[in-house]
Amino acid sequence: MFIPKRILFMKGSLDYQVGRQIHAYFKDNSKVEIIELGNHGIKKNIPGDDISEFYRHGKRTLVVGIRRGMKFQSCKPSAHYQLPLLSGCIGQCEYCYLNTNLGDRPYMRVNVNVDEILEQAGKNIEERLPEVTIFEGSATSDPIPVEPYTHSLKQAIQYFSKTEKGRFRFVTKYTDVDTLLDVNHGGHTEVRFTLNTDRVIQDFENGTPLMSKRIEAARKIMSADYPTGFLIAPVFLYDHWQDDYKNLLLELKDIIPKNTSYPVTFEVISHRYTPRAKNIITKIFPDTKLPMEDEERTYKYGQFGYGKYTYRKEELEEIKSFFKKEIPAVFPDGVVKYII
């Protein structure tokens, strides 16, 4: 669970139940600084003279605010809309896409007007009838570490359980799932866990739980009968990487329940980076050991108009053929959605 060093309550946020819950939870904790702000002033209240310091202090800051605009961003290809309950993440994964997308906003932000956000989701569902509309709860965040005191995922899960054509999904590396276990989800929320080998976690995923802890959280979620998936990402090539990823699959199989109501899904993404991301990462993590030698990679133009450095063709083929063979071997009933 995220215990912030400081919480910035934006104007009006304490008029909402989620804001009051967070305040009540931390008000007697002398290690947490509570600051009430107007409509502005977030950056002024987070110390740090350069990008790296600001990032580190930002990661220990919780901003409690109100979502003003109600036009949701699209979230192709995995969902129709982003559900803007939160943004930011407490993790410090060196390769994280948020370093680029939210570079100047590294803090965790919780939007307290959950009812209004869900009401808007209802309108979006109506507009697309009779089609199903899928909402992504983690497009710009990992929402789990604040859930024990916000309960906003719980509220969303309950909401979508009652919609005939609305679906919800989110992905996490964290383990604070206990408050979600007795929620009536109706099978309308899919929870995905991002897994990686302990070596990758130790080298690059600072401040995130070990593989065994994530698998234990997945076991709990699957026992509560949620549709569940696993994102194995980013895959890195290093000596004996096949052994480590194979062990990950075997450990997962040992721990998670058999005979679940929904097939277990897998998505596999190899490591890639944009030139812009590399530039930011090397400023925030000057000693990073992330493999980002451009000459060892292939530059590919993507569908969103900017290019990425991926592993070379033969290496990508090696990754694909490994997971294509090993996932079905360990999980004969699993569904491999894609390997890229």
Our CA angle for 23, 27, 32, nearest 5°, is 105
Contacts of 202 (CB under 8 A, 6+ apart): none
User: Quick check: 168 and 189 in contact, CB under 8 A?
Assistant: yes
Contact code string over 119-138 relative to ligand SF4, x by CB under 6 A: --------------------
Give the binding range for ligand SF4 (CB under 6 A) out of 26-34, 85-93, 210-218, 308-316.
Answer: 85-93
Q: Is residue 94 at the binding interface for ligand SF4, with CB under 6 A as the rule?
A: no
User: Quick check: 58 and 107 in contact, CB under 8 A?
Assistant: yes
Q: Is residue 208 at the binding interface for ligand SF4, with CB under 6 A as the rule?
A: yes
Q: Is residue 200 at the binding interface for ligand SF4, with CB under 6 A as the rule?
A: no
Identify the bridge partners of residue 270 per DSSP, sorted by sequence position.
235
Could you count the other beta carbons within 10 Å of the beta carbon of residue 312?
A: 13
Give the binding range for ligand SF4 (CB under 6 A) out of 73-81, 93-101, 118-126, 214-222.
Answer: 93-101
How far, in Å, are 41, 47, 124, 125, 151 from residue 81 at the CA level?
29, 34, 9, 10, 21
Q: Is residue 269 at the binding interface for ligand SF4, with CB under 6 A as the rule?
A: no
Give the closest residue to 132 by CA, choosing from 67, 190, 184: 190
Report the nearest approach of ligand SF4 to the CB of residue 90 (Å).
Answer: 7
Identify the bridge partners of residue 63 per DSSP, sorted by sequence position.
8, 109
Q: Is residue 93 at the binding interface for ligand SF4, with CB under 6 A as the rule?
A: yes
Q: Is residue 98 at the binding interface for ligand SF4, with CB under 6 A as the rule?
A: yes
Tokens 């991926």 correspond to 310
Q: Is residue 173 at the binding interface for ligand SF4, with CB under 6 A as the rule?
A: yes
Q: Token digits for 311?
A: 């592993």
Given 10, 89, 144, 232, the residue binding ligand SF4 (CB under 6 A): 89
Could you count the other beta carbons within 10 Å of the beta carbon of residue 117?
A: 21
Say how many residues touch ligand SF4, by CB under 6 A. Answer: 9
> Which of residues 109 and 173 has its CB atom nearest to ligand SF4 in the complex?
173
Q: Token digits for 300?
A: 């590919």
Report the nearest approach of ligand SF4 to the CB of residue 139 (Å).
Answer: 10
Report the nearest approach of ligand SF4 to the CB of residue 172 (Å).
Answer: 8
Q: Is residue 91 at the binding interface for ligand SF4, with CB under 6 A as the rule?
A: yes
Q: Is residue 196 at the binding interface for ligand SF4, with CB under 6 A as the rule?
A: no
Residues that bind ligand SF4 (CB under 6 A): 89, 91, 93, 96, 98, 142, 173, 205, 208
